[in-house]
A and B are shown apart, each in its own frame.
Chain A
């Protein structure tokens, strides 16, 4: 069962000072961090979390929140005062130094804030350092290091010394060193914090790409919330040694556990974090193509809108129809809705960031359609929802404000038309589908 998680931490404490045991007992009995200050400094208090294989797990907190101490307990650089750490199912708290070194060689590597390269060795030898420690023969480790260096974009720099490289490139060497070791888990301690913003962004993107290719489990420490939101599959927010919330970026942003987290996320660029899926509404104004023009017209009348989405088999999105053209079809007695079908102006995928929704939303009066990878309509994002999400107010969606494209044909005209041509009972052919 232990291999369900790459890293499991439970009840971790780290207390620096003269009387850690006493401080620990008091903390466990409910004392606050300030109350035990005389006995020692509690850097990490009762931290528990699990990291799934292949996940990017971000630990975020301000300096002094204990995140660096926490990450150093995960590979045993600091011995926990209490609690357990399991890496790939193996307990590492309290094991002998030689066993610990073995686990570090095989299972868990690390990238450092200030790169921590060996300045007297070439880029290639630095990248191969972990393999050297593992005892890999020289020729093989050089080949593997070359391969990884090329992957991180350092081809041609192998024989340079670290001091000849820019900060961003040095950290690529640090990343290459950790990747070359081929461990399952990668710890990254403020790995991009010392870099310029532009290079930091580039490195973040590269890390996401590399993670996708190599499937490493990454535990990433940062004080930068935007970085946490960009990288993290899940985020643990730390404050004063305690983990105050663990959740996906969306959860942290839309449902902060307490005022501290709320304040923290206040300044986040929400448009770059929230996804279409996170804010979308259930699609209401939809009609099946097979239901025909009359059904479409009826939906338009009920929803008081000029356009509806048209779905094919399996809820695939075919396009939209507009009220005037549907009205003409109904008047002409047509049974098929296809002649009125137009291409959907704006579709996005579920994981599109809100920042990518502005343009489609501006171009079309319709709500932006959200589709999955099989082009099935899963939701819509009306403009009002988009704005509400950015302002972090709970959008009050009513029939009135959800309608972005108001009816262009008066309701009584539609009703009259339906009555004049129709015979079928209204409810039988209506397909709203919104609550399916």
Chain B
């Protein structure tokens, strides 16, 4: 690892060109030769997760999945949304993109869940420590602004062609809002309420569980929503490295200059995006809001607060 780097250094002295790319490549070579076992394990785990989720969505007949999704939409948002989604999902089936859409959904879910498993604890850490925040923030900036395609290259080398490099690139790309929103949410919790926990002798863990996380939940859920949306925006790029799904057809449409195919697959992405966005946005709101009618009834029973 050291030798090629010093070699690059010699060439820099000769030509004046910074051999950044060569350094990265030599690190990559070092990692692939020495840590390939580790990456094989990761690959197996991610692949296993993806296959399991994919079986759930792509396995059963389409109408069962549509029924479940629409009923969930009815429960969370109401009949208008459910009706709109029913029409949208049937359209996806109509243009023969159903299987692709389910593969994509599975990829998005797996990538989002893993991204959140990393992002939320990291966000909690950065909310508690200014030092951690100062270190993590520039890294997140870097991850978010680096063109997403660039992640694909090492991901391909480390995880080989297939769905896993797509998942990995998606996770890296979608991680940042999860961390940022969690930090923002926890830092935004009313200081006095946290002080109240402290003043009654609650431990930091209890304050986190009983005060900070519940009160930060709407903001954290907004972060979850963003993570999912960014994941979805990565599916086309994931399609380029062989992750099956809507992205594959978009890429095919592009290479064959087949606008029709591209639009059919693209519509699928849009409909998934609308569904996931509206659902997670609704979940981010306080629980009572989900039952508008019941809540109105409850409000009537409640005596008006008297100015006692």
Contacts and interface: CB of A to CB of B under 8 A. Distances in A.
A432 interface: no
Interface string B150-185: 000000000000000000000000000000000000
Given A77-B195, A110-B196, A116-B195, A133 B190 contact: no
B201 interface: yes
Given A166-B307, A168-B307, A75 B199 contact: yes
A105 B199 CA distance: 8
Interface residues of B, number: 22
Interface in A349-372: none
A165 B304 CA distance: 8
A359 to B, nearest CB: 30
A172 B306 CA distance: 13
Interface stretch (B73-81, B202-210, B273-281): B202-210
Given A112-B196, A164-B302, A133 B201 contact: yes
A60 interface: no
B14 interface: no
B200 A113 contact: no
Contact of A169 (B197, B200, B202, B305): B305
A435 interface: no
Interface of A: 72, 75, 77, 101-106, 108-110, 112-120, 129-130, 133-134, 153, 160, 164-166, 168-169, 172, 177, 181, 187, 196, 198-199, 202
A262 B201 CA distance: 40
A116 B308 contact: no
Given A117-B193, A160-B302, A129 B200 contact: yes
Contacts of A202: 308
Contacts of B55: none
Contacts of A102: 201
A44 B282 CA distance: 47
Give the interface SS of chain B, mostly helix, strand, loop or mixed: helix
Interface in B258-308: 302, 305-308
B66 interface: no
B200 A104 contact: yes
B305 A105 contact: no
Contacts of A75: 199
Contacts of B201: 101-106, 130, 133-134
A77 B198 CA distance: 7
A120 B307 contact: no
Contacts of B206: 133
Contact of A109 (B195, B199, B306): B199
24 contacts: A72-B195, A75-B199, A101-B202, A101-B203, A102-B201, A104-B198, A104-B201, A105-B201, A106-B201, A108-B199, A109-B200, A110-B195, A110-B196, A110-B199, A114-B190, A116-B196, A118-B211, A120-B215, A134-B201, A164-B302, A165-B305, A166-B307, A168-B308, A202-B308
B199 to A, nearest CB: 4
A138 to B, nearest CB: 15
A108 B305 CA distance: 30
B130 interface: no
A112 B200 contact: no
A15 B198 CA distance: 21
B192 interface: yes
Given A104-B201, A109-B200, A172-B308, 4 more contacts: A101-B202, A103-B201, A112-B196, A118-B215
A105 B201 CA distance: 5
Contacts of B198: 77, 104
A356 B247 CA distance: 85
Contacts of B307: 166, 168, 196, 198-199
A199 to B, nearest CB: 7
Nearest to B199: A110
Contacts of B7: none
A376 to B, nearest CB: 41
Nearest to B193: A116
A196 B190 CA distance: 22
Given A119-B215, A166-B306, A168-B307, A113 B192 contact: yes
A228 B48 CA distance: 68
B4 interface: no
A110 B199 CA distance: 6
B59 interface: no
B193 to A, nearest CB: 5
B188 interface: no
B121 interface: no
Nearest to A181: B200
B84 interface: no
Contacts of A103: 201
B305 A166 contact: yes
A162 B197 CA distance: 16
